[in-house]
Every structure is written in C-alpha cells, then in structure tokens.
C-alpha cells in the first residue's frame, strides 16, 4: 500500500511540474519572456545602457584596417512586443586603429536609430536570432577616416543588416550573450562587424525568447 501511495505521489508531482511548465510556456508563447510574462504588442522592456563588452571591431580587409572599440552604450533601447526591438542608437567608444596610415576623426562611432526583429529561435537547441537595421534608409553609421596617406580617408557610410545571435536566448537569464559576425559595406569596400557582449534589462529581470 505504501509503495502504491509513493508512486501516486510521484505521479502527481510530475503532473504538477508538467502543468507548471506548460503554464509558463503558455504565458510567454513565442514572445519575449520577461520574468515569466510574455511581452505583448504595444508593451516594451527597456535594456540597460551598458552591458559587458568583450569585443567590438570593424575590419576592412582590402585596406588592412581594423577599428577596435572598448565601450558600447545603447541609447533608449527596448525589447518591444512581441519579438522586436528598437533603439535611438548605439554609441561605440574608445575606438581606434593600430598599424595603419589611417586614423579616426573621433574615437566615438554612433549609429542612427535602429530596429530589430522579429527574433526567432534557431534549430540549435537554445539559440535565438534577430536582424538589426536602420529605422529608415540604409546607412547604419558614418565612419570618418583621416590620414595624409589613408586610402579610405573621408566619410564612409556603414551599411548592411546586422545579424545577432543569442547562443542561449531560449534560456531564461538576467544577462544574455549576444554575438555578431556580419559582413557589411564600409563605403564601397567589404567590411566585417564583430561584437561579443552580454546585455541585460534595466530592471534586472530575467529574460528569454519564448
């Protein structure tokens, strides 16, 4: 009798756990999930201005240029319902070029207002993907190069859609890792943007995709 009761207790516990998991999944569906609650159309959750930046660079192989930046700050950046996002812009600070006749007019590179999404899960178990582009037009930022013998001197528009991958985006975390490895255009030259950072919500709440 005791064994039957124990088995029944385990079964009830498993059913309850399954119900809770299904309830949490239903609460978020395929939306941004903020602290267990789905972000509906018209709702938003503000991202923190700064996260943990590991790497931020723009390389232009044909000119032997690698622009490296040490800071990243988001201006009024939000996750928006259901799986989109927006920002007034992103500022890259502490930027410079080493081992090149080219230098930057300013150590700060600032983007135009941006939009992203809709975000979607990828086939790999916990990955999520989102595409970021200018809110209007095609130019994401303008990089100004200087130098008497710099072959790319002058204002060079950076254009192209930025692909962002969240390796564990489907797992609830207070900080989500974001990896960017995207081909772009810098003027007429082919460039590559690489960013590795961790982002978080201004509220500190845990978040995930779906």
Average per-residue pLDDT for the chain: 87
pLDDT, tens digit (0-9, with 9 covering 90-100), for 129-175: 999 999 999 999 999 999 999 999 999 999 999 999 999 999 999 99
Q: Does the residue 8 lie in any domain?
A: no
**Residue 16: which pLDDT band, with cuts at 50, 70 and 90?**
very low
46 is in which domain, residue-wise?
31-209
Q: Does the residue 130 lie in any domain?
A: yes
pLDDT above 60 (res 33): yes
Average pLDDT over residues 63-70: 97
Q: Does the residue 182 lie in any domain?
A: yes
Higher pLDDT, 68 or 2: 68
pLDDT above 90 (res 5): no
Q: Does the residue 98 lie in any domain?
A: yes
CA distance 79 to 87: 9
Please report the pLDDT score of residue 1 as a whole number.
Answer: 40
Total domain count for the chain?
1
Contact by Cβ (8 Å): 74, 90: yes
Q: CA nearest 113: which of 94, 92, 137?
A: 137
CATH number at residue 81: 2.40.128
Q: Does the residue 118 lie in any domain?
A: yes
pTM score: 0.83
Neighbouring residues of 30: CB distance < 8 A, sequence distance ≥ 6: 82, 83, 209, 210
Q: CA nearest 145: which of 157, 128, 127?
A: 157
Q: Does the residue 16 lie in any domain?
A: no
pLDDT above 70 (res 198): yes
């Amino acid at each position: 009798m005791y064994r039957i009761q124990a088995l029944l207790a385990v079964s009830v516990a498993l059913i309850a756990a399954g119900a809770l998991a299904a309830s949490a999944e239903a609460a978020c569906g395929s939306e941004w999930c903020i602290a267990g609650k789905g972000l509906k159309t018209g709702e938003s959750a503000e991202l923190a201005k700064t996260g943990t930046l590991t790497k931020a660079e723009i390389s232009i192989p044909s000119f032997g240029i690698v622009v490296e930046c040490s800071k990243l700050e988001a201006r009024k950046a939000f996750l928006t319902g259901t799986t989109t996002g927006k920002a007034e812009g992103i500022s890259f600070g502490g930027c410079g070029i080493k081992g090149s006749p080219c230098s930057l007019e300013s150590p700060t590179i600032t983007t135009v207002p941006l939009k992203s999404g809709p975000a979607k899960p990828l086939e790999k178990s916990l990955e999520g993907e989102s595409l970021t582009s200018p809110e209007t037009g095609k130019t994401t930022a303008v990089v100004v190069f200087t130098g008497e013998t710099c072959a790319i001197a002058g204002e060079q528009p950076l254009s192209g859609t930025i692909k962002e991958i969240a390796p564990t985006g489907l797992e609830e975390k207070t900080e989500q890792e974001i990896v960017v490895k995207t081909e772009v255009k810098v003027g007429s030259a082919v460039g590559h943007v690489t960013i590795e950072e961790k982002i978080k919500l201004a509220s500190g709440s845990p978040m995930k995709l779906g």
